[in-house]
Amino acid sequence: METVYPTQSCDLAHKKIKNVYGIHYSTLENIVKKQNKRIRLLPPYREHLSQAFARYFMRVGLPQDIMLEGY
C-alpha cells in the first residue's frame, strides 16, 4: 500500500466533525487492505485535527448531546 502525503496541489476538503460514527477495527483493517493508496496527515496537522476533535467530543455542559450511532 502506498502512502500519499498531500501537497499544495492536492484537493483538500473541510469536513465537519459533528457526526461521530464507530466502526469495528477488523472492518477498518479490511477496508484498508483493499485500498491502493491512502492519504495521511503529517504532524503538526494530525495533532491539530485530533485536538479539534477532542475539544468537540469532550465538551461538558452544552445544551445538546452528541448522538452516537449503535451505542
Length of the chain: 71
* Contact assessment for residue 39 and residue 1, using Cβ atoms and an 8 Å cutoff: no
Shortest CA distance to 1 belongs to which of 52, 36, 32? 36
Measured CA to CA, the distance from residue 27 to residue 17 in angstroms comes to 21
Residues 10-18, mean pLDDT to the nearest whole number: 64
Q: Could you report the per-residue pLDDT of 18-56, keeping only the tens digit for each?
A: 777 788 999 999 988 998 887 888 888 889 888 988 888
pLDDT of residue 63: 60
Which single residue is written with the C-alpha cell 468537540?
Answer: 56
Domain ranges in the chain are: 2-57
Q: How far apart are CA 2 and CA 5, in angstroms?
A: 10
